[in-house]
Chain A
Amino acid sequence: MTHIEVTVNGERRSDEVESRLLLVHYLREILGLRAANVGCDTTSCGACTVLLDGKSVKSCTVLAVQASGHEVTTAEGLSAGGELHPVQAAFRQHHGLQCGFCTPGMVMAAVGLLSENPHPTETQVREGLEGNLCRCTGYHNIVRAVLAAADAEQVQANGSAPANAEVTA
């Protein structure tokens, strides 16, 4: 067993874990944070995506011990104070989720994408989310939601409405 200290959603955690324990299983089984899901075994689907020091990572491919000394943010930690994060709100507004299984990972990947590229084009959104699979939406509304979230942040930044606020199907 190995001792780890991780800040998860702003809270300091310390645990003794098996050294082979995956970060996603640490979050789900030990901390009870079950928003991140396991959808594959080849790092292909992204359902387990979380932020590690602000960058999106697939938590099925990070060992819990590797997260020691770092900060992890999950979907649970995005919506502090009961208010949806702008990306979460945009996913709801644009029906960017159906069964919900890919959703926490997709949202975290989108947050990571927008932090690196606050004003992506549609192509950049699609390329940025290529590692996150969704079987329900055909990606259409996910892309709409991420573009809208980017616009919403623009509004917050400069106080004017974005030109393409009207979203068509």
Chain B
Amino acid sequence: MSILGTRVLRTEDPKFLTTGGVYTEDVVDERLDGACHVFFVRSPLAHARITRVDVSAALEAPGVVAVYTGADLADLEPIPPSAAGLINTEMQQRLLATDKTRFVGEPVAAVVTEHPYQGEDAVELVEVDYDPLPAALGFDPSDESLLFEAAGTNVAGYWGDASSLNPELFDGCEVVVKHTIINQRVAPAPMETRAAAAVWGEDGRLTAWIPNQGAQGTKSQLAKQLGVDEELVRVITPDVGGAFGAKFGADPEHVVVAWVARHLGRPVRWTETRYENLIAMTHGRAQQHTVTIGGGRDGNVQAYRLEIVQDAGAYPKIGAVLPMLTILMTTGPYDIPRAEAVAKVVITNTTPIGAYRGAGRPEATAALERAIDLFAAEISADPADVRRKNLLAPFTEPHRTAFGALYDTGDYVAALDKALDAAGYADLRKEQARRRASGDIRQLGIGVASYVEITGMGDGEDTPPQENATVEVHPDGTATILTGTSPHGQGHATAWAMIASEELGIPVEKITLKWGDTDLIPEGGGTGGSRSLQQGGAAVQQAAQELLEVARLRAAAELEANAADLVFDKTRSAFNVAGDPEASVPLTQLAENERLLIRTVFSQPGATFPFGTHVAVVEVDTETGKTSLQRVITVDDAGTVLNPLLAEGQRHGGIGQGAAQAFLEEVVYDDAGNPLTASLADYPFVSATEVPSFELADMATPTTYNPLGAKGIGEAGSIGSTPAVQNAVVDAVAHLGVRHIDMPVTSRRVWQALQAVQPGSEQ
């Protein structure tokens, strides 16, 4: 029986459950003996000119080794904005702020001490004089307070040309609905905050331990910002305590830590506090959507327009690129004859925006799924029916959308119907009708969201997505896999071992996975964008198969037989002559004769497009607005499933985070740009009491793009659940006249929306 598709328990777990993972802060290495500790002085103001920095008092404090300011790092190049060419190139970030600070939390100085507690004390002694400036905030930041005077604007750039929007797009539509929707700023907040440990060897090379999602990319960025050759940088990835898109590359603090280690000639460590994490690690989302949707009263959607404003925060990083992905997925799973989308990227005096689980695609789905519900409400149609009427018909040959996305395989109506069945949709509607008729104060809301998303993207169609893997069989019967992916909770050690085991007949527990050390694995795309199994896993399968072909030739020589006459017996992990089990040679013996190792690169024709439908059920107390999430039922079709245990875990996590965005989480600033959610006591990080157990229904439409048939599953949960939960809350009070409530749909917002539609209300 094949091991593929079975619920293999994680080989990673015993360590995590007993001695715990070895995260960056836990790393014990003799090269780090005697390390000193970095603490950052961070701007307390959203926007200010720095007029003086006095480090003398801090230098006198116990245990202080050094204090560095921006002036000390003047030789290092600033960080350029993402998407050069589209984004204003004046908008660069110094590693430590020099003339100005542009968000609360921006690093201004670095204090180095012998002991961590001394650093906490000493940062308070660095005196910085600030001349406060008005903060530019929101989706329409005034140009009166420019973040970058040389840029002359707070608009970083555009995706698409708003002046080319078709004024006749909605001609002929019986019904047109337009609404502006906020996809609020949220904090990725992985349980492990950012950290680093760095030391320069006598050979002039840097070794840096950094929690990351792709050591190779982190190495490149570190080398570039330090101004050294990539050959001089080695990144080692310890266990990583969650990332969710926010641990790609190298942040300014990582570069400063590496620079300090070189400057002092000593090993250096840094672990940020949660307070720092919530104000200085990139945030996610932060888009404003103006949706216009038009169609017939029969429920056919004929036209859709999405106008995006992306708040990129103080510096245009990955956030500036997110609208490109949002635009790519504008029409999602629907067949909409006319559609267009444009985006404007603005900068504000807030924490920079980066990738967060889904990165641009959840935003597209959230906008579209609210638009569909707004349209359905306008024509008094069942939102599930409107979806069914407009979903693309099933296809097995790739489908090209008007926005250039090439969907590989899909059966969206089947996913919708399966989810509705699993939810008991008709009965839910009956119960809702009963409560509405009786005026129950606890109203039932049912939200539906269909989605398709893009996973495993390459760098455009000319450079197809790819990943490398190395498989080696050892004489003792064990095997080692090297992968260019970078697990941080996904379970690659188990999953990649399953794939190799299936090919080689070596038990999973005898297979070791290595990743994230750039000296060992110089190339790799890391883990993000739900790419790992479809490319990294497929590469492992390809390497194992190529290894068997090499082994077959060697076995033929060993057995003095024709290679074509040999069969591979997985139960013994050995080749034997067909029909003669006695004439056999095991892989272990071949490995003893000569190293048995293959490195290969797997290429995929393009990205894959998993899809599904989520149904959420909520109860809303119409007197208080109190909302409780009762059920989430999902169909997430990500192609063939390798290990249902792991795939379900990815779905659960995504659903939890997506639901949290819908009704709980938001990063909030006051009018002066002060963060009001800078601790886990203030940021409403979802807890176990706020979500139910999730109900998963299975569906698997394989992709033809890789032999595993797998699409990505890492982000799907967070893409479907957000609009499903939001739609459910609005649905609960729709009969009272509410059409839309922005996320997070908190009890207060629901209550306010209900007040606004009360008869006699002034709003």
Question: A residues bordering B, Cβ < 8 Å?
Answer: 18, 20, 28, 32, 34-45, 47, 75-76, 78-79, 84, 88, 91-93, 95, 97-104, 107, 122, 125-127, 129-144, 169
Contact = CB atoms under 8 A, between A and B. Distances in A.
B20 A37 contact: yes
Contacts of A122: 693
B13 interface: yes
A20 B117 contact: yes
Nearest to B698: A169
B164 interface: no
B191 A45 contact: yes
Interface string B628-668: 00000000000000001110110011111101000000000
Contacts of B648: 95, 141, 169
Interface string B4-19: 0000011011111111
Given A34-B22, A35-B18, A45-B685, 19 more contacts: A32-B28, A36-B20, A39-B193, A39-B680, A41-B275, A43-B681, A84-B17, A95-B649, A98-B490, A98-B649, A99-B241, A99-B242, A100-B15, A101-B21, A103-B17, A107-B17, A127-B689, A132-B688, A135-B189
B715 to A, nearest CB: 13
A137 B20 contact: no
A133 B685 contact: yes
B679 to A, nearest CB: 5
B406 to A, nearest CB: 31
Of residues B28, B274, B646, which shows the largest number of chain A Cβ atoms within 10 Å of its Cβ?
Answer: B274
Nearest to B191: A101
Contacts of B274: 39-42, 45
Interface in B494-519: none
A137 B717 CA distance: 11
B116 to A, nearest CB: 8
Contacts of B26: 28, 34
Contact of B21 (A32, A100, A144): A100
A168 B117 CA distance: 47
Contacts of B242: 98-99, 101, 135-136
Given A35-B19, A99-B192, A93 B9 contact: yes
A47 B191 contact: yes
**For the complex, would chain A's binding face be called helix, strand, loop or mixed by DSSP majority?**
loop
A151 B389 CA distance: 47
Given A37-B20, A45-B274, A99-B240, A141 B652 contact: yes
B687 interface: yes
Contact of A139 (B9, B191, B688): B688
A169 B696 contact: yes
Nearest to B655: A138
Contacts of A138: 652-657, 659, 691, 694, 717
B252 interface: no
A134 B657 CA distance: 10
A83 to B, nearest CB: 10
B190 interface: yes
A103 B649 contact: no
Contact of A141 (B649, B659, B679): B649
Contacts of A36: 20
